[in-house]
């Protein structure tokens, strides 16, 4: 493949890091390792108040990134809303997600949009128009999961192809002994439903420990809930952990809990499988269900504390089952590679 000069475009909420940021960094490194000249263009994204969203979109539309220092930019790869509004004759989108508050979260407590406010309705309509325009200009459209592709088709009548991203820990994850704790590695916000895990833990027959690695705006509320439920030392809030610590936590867990609300993709799932850990999730967890097969590589239950408690107790009581399910998931993630990603995204 001929070496290209490529810019990766992404929107960045200052002081926030998560799966989308790791994806961009992984893509940058993978492209460079294969001989391309690559840089990242990240503009700050203002999503609150709702009325400020079009400003972030306009900033991308006004950019001219076709050349720098009298050298052409051969291609751009766009990721999150509204980065795909940038103008370039060779534009590819690898969609992490659209602005979910205007789409599948609209009308739920997870959205800041209020249908009774005319300005909010106008901004939502504008987002729909911008998405159709920006993605309609693309040479090719990929998403990070079939779930994201399905949303794009349902809301915008736009076709795309799922292209799974590898975990940043793919080469480090390993299978260790099946310990006695349930691990959560999710960012602590309401969409990840860690409160459901805590409520389930309070209903479990066993006293299986919960290790919650990660930070986020919901931590204080979750800690108060754990105390209210009387979980005591069973629920350990580890906060931010290093990469090496997280790999060790995966390696020693009995299972991984990951049951967000209609997740786009979910690195926690592929990381759990990379460490041969079973995943406990729910039937409304979205992209997670593209990997977890109930009774084979994990357990899928109703998004209710009692059902989740039964699933967790099942694995807590049977380490052999946990090992069997965990090892069944490993081959699925072995097929997710940066070679496949780069081959798809780079225009020949």
CA 314 to chain CA centroid, nearest Å:
27
In 10 A of CB 111, how many CB atoms? 19
- Spell out the residues 6+ positions from residue 347 whose beta carbon is closer than 8 angstroms to its own: 4, 74, 75, 90, 92, 139, 140
d(CA 10, CA 24): 8
Write the Ramachandran bin of 239: left for phi over 0, alpha for psi from -120 to 50, otherwise beta: left
Q: What is the pLDDT of residue 12?
A: 86
Domain positions in the chain are: 5-163, 182-334
Which CATH number describes the domain made up of 5-163? 3.40.50.2000
Kindly state the tokens that stand for 17: 């890091």
Q: Calculate helix-pair angle for 338-345, 19-33, nearest 10 degrees.
A: 80
Residue 16 has pLDDT above 80, yes or no: no
Please determine, for residue 17, whether its predicted confidence score (pLDDT) is greater than 80.
no
Task: Please tell me the distance from the alpha carbon of residue 36 to that of residue 328, in angstroms, as a whole number.
Answer: 36
Residue 51 confidence (pLDDT): 92
- Mean of pLDDT over the chain: 95
Q: pLDDT, tens digit, for every residue of 50-89?
A: 999 999 899 999 999 999 989 999 999 999 999 999 999 9
Q: Model confidence over 174-220: pLDDT tens digits? A: 999 999 999 999 999 999 999 999 999 999 999 999 999 999 999 99
> Which residue is listed with tokens 């998560």?
18
CA angle 65, 7, 17 (to 5 degrees): 115
Higher pLDDT pick, 12 / 342: 342
What is this structure's pTM? 0.92
Per this entry, what is the length of the chain? 348
Q: Are 178 and 319 in contact (CB under 8 A)?
A: yes
The CATH homologous superfamily for domain 182-334 is Glycogen Phosphorylase B; (3.40.50.2000)
pLDDT for res 67 = 92
- How would residue 131 be classed by pLDDT, with cut points 50, 70 and 90? very high
Q: What is the structure's pLDDT at 274?
A: 96
């Amino acid at each position: 493949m001929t070496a290209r000069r490529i810019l990766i475009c992404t929107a960045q909420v200052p002081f926030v890091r998560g799966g989308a940021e790791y994806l961009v960094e992984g893509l940058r490194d993978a492209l460079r390792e294969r001989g391309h000249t690559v840089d990242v263009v990240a503009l700050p994204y203002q999503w609150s108040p709702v009325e400020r969203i079009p400003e972030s979109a306009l900033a991308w539309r006004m950019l001219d990134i076709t050349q720098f220092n009298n050298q052409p930019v051969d291609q751009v790869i766009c990721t999150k809303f509204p980065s795909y509004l940038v103008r370039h004759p060779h534009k590819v989108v690898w969609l992490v997600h659209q602005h979910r508050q205007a789409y599948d979260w609209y009308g739920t407590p997870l959205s800041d949009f209020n249908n009774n406010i005319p300005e909010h309705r106008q901004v939502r309509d504008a987002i729909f128009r911008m998405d159709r325009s920006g993605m309609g200009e693309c040479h090719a459209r990929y998403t990070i999961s079939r779930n994201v592709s399905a949303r794009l088709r349902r809301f915008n009548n736009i076709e795309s192809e799922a292209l799974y991203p590898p975990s940043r820990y793919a080469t480090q994850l390993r299978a260790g002994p099946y310990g006695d704790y349930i691990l959560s590695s999710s960012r602590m916000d309401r969409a990840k439903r860690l409160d459901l895990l805590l409520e389930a833990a309070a209903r479990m027959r066993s006293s299986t420990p919960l290790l919650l690695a990660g930070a986020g705006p919901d931590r204080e509320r979750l800690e108060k809930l754990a105390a209210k439920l009387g979980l005591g030392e069973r629920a350990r809030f580890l906060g931010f952990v290093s990469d090496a610590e997280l790999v060790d936590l995966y390696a020693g867990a009995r299972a991984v809990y990951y049951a967000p609300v209609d997740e786009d993709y979910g690195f926690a799932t592929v990381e759990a499988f990379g460490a041969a850990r079973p995943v406990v999730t729910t039937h409304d967890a979205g992209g997670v269900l593209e990997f977890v097969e109930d009774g084979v590589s994990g357990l899928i239950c109703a998004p209710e504390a009692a059902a989740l408690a039964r699933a967790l107790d099942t694995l807590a009581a049977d380490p052999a089952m946990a090992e069997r399910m965990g090892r069944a998931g490993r081959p699925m993630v072995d097929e997710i590679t940066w070679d496949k990603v780069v081959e798809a995204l780079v225009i020949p």
